[in-house]
Structure 1
Amino acid sequence: MTDLPTDVASLRSALAATGYLADDGLGTALFLAVALRQPLLLEGEPGVGKTRAALALAEVVDTPLVRLQCYEGLTAAEALYEWNHPRQLLAIRLAESRGQPLGDDDLFGEEFLLARPLLAAVTHPGPRPAVLLIDEVDRADDEFEAHLLELLAEGAVTIPELGTRRAVHRPVVVLTSNRTRDLHDALTRRCLHHAIPHPDTAAVEAIIRVRVPEVGDVLADQVAHALARLRTAALLKPPGLAEAIDWVRALQALGVERLDAEQARRTLGAVVKHDEDRELVLRTGLESVVGGP
């Protein structure tokens, strides 16, 4: 088990060793989330590295990552816990065969409890706190946010049949949002906040080199500049950092060392994900995308 970073600089260095480059603002936010054990809300466009920040942080802290992927219709029961109904049914049948009927207290005990991400993070035995990633919280319904408030404020969750469970090792909570809707003040005021912007061209190139270390200098430079040009086009879904890395890997898989219009056409599906955007790029001309810096 490695020592925890003691300051922002050491955390940024440790994150870089995992392949994640965090600027001073993000490094500070992540450090405070660990040091203060206060939830951190990361906002930004898809593909800027919000989810990967939590993954890298868990690796640096040397602790499990517990992930809750949010979606429309997600309920508290699905996120918190559920009862093992098949095991309960077997227990009922076994008790009946022995002439020992079971009551509710017998059927709703710890042995029948199945922990979902929120409960798993709170009950993590340590020795270090789990990193709980609540991913794309803006995709969940408004009502779901209310179920998170106890966890965010107190590091605890309540199970009606068993009572409140408080964390011995309060989890490091990282929430991400793509800003598809506004989050409630009750949630945001319980969190530290950091917005991750799309990185500039130099940062994109540096991240490509870290994430795909075998990439050649020319290709990394060309893809970073091509991404910048695509992001200035009137696309429905401007590509992000994740698409840039996918593009580089696709080009490498084809043995491409220099990006030209033909190679860009062959691999355009790695970076442009909508038919309308693809048609626009092709109509505009790939030469303008892959031109010199």
Structure 2
Amino acid sequence: MAQPSTRGLPQSIDETLALLTDGGYVADRSLATVLFLSLTMQRPLFLEGEAGVGKTEIAKVLADRLGRKLIRLQCYEGLDVSSAVYEWNYAAQMIEIRMAEAAGVHDRAEMESGVFSEKYLIRRPVLEALERSVDGPPIFLIDELDRADEAFEAYLLEVLSDYQVSVPELGTIRAAEPPIVVITTNRTREIHDALKRRCLYHWVDYPDAQRELDILARKVPNANATLARQVVVFVQKLRELDLFKAPGVAETIDWATALTALGKETLDAETVSDTMGVLLKYQDDIARMEEGEGVRVLEEVRVG
């Protein structure tokens, strides 16, 4: 197999950090390091962490800054080969068979060679990621792998071993250049060690207060500076509570955007109560805030 193209790839950790920063992603050096090594060593990058911490965004920024195509495989329970890898265009094949019969073709081998050709092959994300591209190997995002069944995980392990797919009617389809693979998981279940061993691993944690403030400065630049600081402190304190689902960075951005749209310059109890559905996604958590926890946290924010 040909070696992956290095066109436009960062040549150092600092360049990798700059690439992410230029794409609007505020990363720490440890993430930039593992990403640089993943690109250099041609190994899939396995990103694990809570929902909303920015795992998927890394692949999007890579595709944008490297000028590569982003191919996303969104995993879910019951995902199978026909949805993830390929399937045949059965309707078009039936039309081809009927036209061949009408033309007097009755040779089975000849008919099969006609209908089982790439013309009728529908490429799903896995097979699409193995195709050659003039812009270089694509970014292949395998998103929320933990939602897929273990059987599909085992199949994916085979694909990532040699970057090839077997199509019985056509043979083996290999990637001329392996894609840049980013795998994410929210850790709703453990991924098998065999797949993890083929990857470089990084736990994407919630950012500290300063980095989250930097993120808001980039993502919601029109937010009032005082409001942005209060939002970050409030969210950081919420994550210390035993909530069913702590707010991620995505929710912080959404909340700051919503508050800015409402013309708010500081947090107050009424606004916090009215907009809590932007920040928290479970009724039990929202009820807890409305029962007094939200006011207590807000007071801590003001004191701080």
**What TM-score bracket applies, with the shorter chain setting the length?**
over 0.9
Q: Which piece of structure 1 moves more, 108-117 or 32-41?
A: 32-41
Tell me if the contact between 1:125 and 1:168 (Cα under 8 Å) persists in the aligned partners.
no
CA offset at residue 124 of structure 1? 3.4
Fraction of identical pairs, as percent? 44
Match of 1:94 among 81, 95, 99: 99
Partner of 2:196: 188
Partner of 1:280: 288
1:130 aligns with 2:130: no
Which ranges in structure 1 are unaligned for 5 or more consecutive residues?
none
CA offset at residue 4 of structure 1? 2.6
1:74 aligns with 2:74: no
Match of 1:36 among 21, 24, 41: 41
CA offset at residue 288 of structure 1? 2.1
Partner of 1:221: 229
1:47 aligns with 2:55: no
**Secondary structure at the counterpart of residue 133 of structure 1:** strand
- Alignment length (residue pairs): 292
The CA distance in 2 between the partners of 1:278 and 1:94, in whole Å, is 62
The CA distance in 1 between the partners of 2:275 and 2:294, in whole Å, is 12
Partner of 2:249: 241
Partner of 1:143: 151
**Secondary structure at the counterpart of residue 146 of structure 2:** helix
Match of 2:215 among 184, 207, 210: 207
Partner of 1:153: 161
Q: State TM-score, norm by structure 1.
A: 0.96
CA offset at residue 105 of structure 1? 2.5
**Cα deviations by residue, 1:160-203 (Å, 9 ceiling, x for unpaired):** 22121111121000000111111112111111111111111111
CA offset at residue 140 of structure 1? 0.4
Letter in 2 for 1:211: K
Partner of 2:20: 15
CA offset at residue 108 of structure 1? 1.1
CA offset at residue 113 of structure 1? 0.4
**Cα deviations by residue, 1:109-164 (Å, 9 ceiling, x for unpaired):** 11000100000010132331100000000110011111112322222222122121
Tell me if the contact between 2:44 and 2:200 (Cα under 8 Å) persists in the aligned partners.
yes
Tell me if the contact between 1:126 and 1:169 (Cα under 8 Å) persists in the aligned partners.
no
Which ranges in structure 2 are unaligned for 5 or more consecutive residues?
1-6
The CA distance in 2 between the partners of 1:287 and 1:257, in whole Å, is 18
Q: Give runs of aligned pairs for residues 59-70 of structure 1, distance below 5 A.
A: 59-70=64-75
1:104 aligns with 2:109: no
CA offset at residue 3 of structure 1? 3.1
CA offset at residue 85 of structure 1? 1.1
**Cα deviations by residue, 1:39-61 (Å, 9 ceiling, x for unpaired):** 11100011111001111111121
CA offset at residue 38 of structure 1? 0.8
CA offset at residue 106 of structure 1? 2.0
Q: Which piece of structure 1 moves more, 177-186 or 282-291?
A: 282-291
The CA distance in 2 between the partners of 1:286 and 1:150, in whole Å, is 49
4+ runs deviating over 6 angstroms? none
The CA distance in 1 between the partners of 2:132 and 2:226, in whole Å, is 46
**Cα deviations by residue, 1:232-288 (Å, 9 ceiling, x for unpaired):** 222111111111001011111111121111111111110011111111011124322
The CA distance in 2 between the partners of 1:200 and 1:51, in whole Å, is 19
Letter in 1 for 2:259: L
The CA distance in 2 between the partners of 1:4 and 1:136, in whole Å, is 25
Letter in 1 for 2:136: R
